[in-house]
Amino acid sequence: MYLITMFGNLLIILAVSSDSHLHTPMYFFLSNLSLVDICFTSTTVPKMLVNIQTQSQVITYGDCITQMYFFLLFAGLDDFLLTVMAYDRFVAICHPLRYTVIMNPRLCGLLLLVSWLSVVSLFYCTILGVYLSSASPYSTHSSAVASVMYTVVTPMLNPFIYSLKNKEIKGALRRFCEMAAIKGTTVLGLKSSL
């Protein structure tokens, strides 16, 4: 699941960045969401995989704090980006003739910036509540299943939900793969001629 998450989200980033037809606000936010999903999943899953492999659940206090910081940062950023994407679709549907004027590059950059430092401020405000509250009454097994759902499954499904049913992304991925195949063939042809 981790490899599918990484590969799927990386494909979206590459498709959007390599195809000029996809340089629109919707795909700008989608590629940023894919980047955040890669980062979000990478904050916990590699350590979890090592723990499973070594049968050890040891983590230092510093590593735990660092992991929690980035986990909460990227989880919050994920939520804010989804909100910004919903606003983008609202403008596209309700104001289609003014869409490009309203969702200009400056506003898109500003919305992305507001999504970021908001997450940082919310993190510092809520961290006190998390660490000052009492322990959760839920069982360890239920907590583990819930954490796998939102740390692994959701970021893995986002590329499928937001892009694979989209004709523009499919076309961009097809063109990207064709370009990669042509470059690979050219490189192999050069090596064989040497």
| Cα 138 from Cα 69, distance rounded (Å) | 22
Q: Please state, in angstroms and rounded to a whole number, the distance separating the CA atoms of residues 177 and 194.
A: 26
Compute the distance between CA of residue 45 and CA of residue 70 in angstroms, rounded to an integer: 13
Judge whether residue 35 has pLDDT over 90: yes
Q: Give the range of the structural domain holding residue 159, as residue numbers without chain letter.
A: 2-131+138-193
* Paired tokens of 68: 């929690």
pLDDT confidence bin for 38, thresholds 50/70/90? very high
What is the amino acid identity at position 55? Answer: Q
Instruction: Report the domain count for the chain.
Output: 1
Among 10-19, 47-56, 158-167, the least confident range? 158-167
- Judge whether 30 and 85 are in contact, CB under 8 Å: yes
CATH number of residue 40's parent domain: 1.20.1070.10
Whole-model pTM over 0.75:
no
Look at residue 104 and give its three-state secondary structure: coil
Residues 6+ apart with CB under 8 A from 117: none
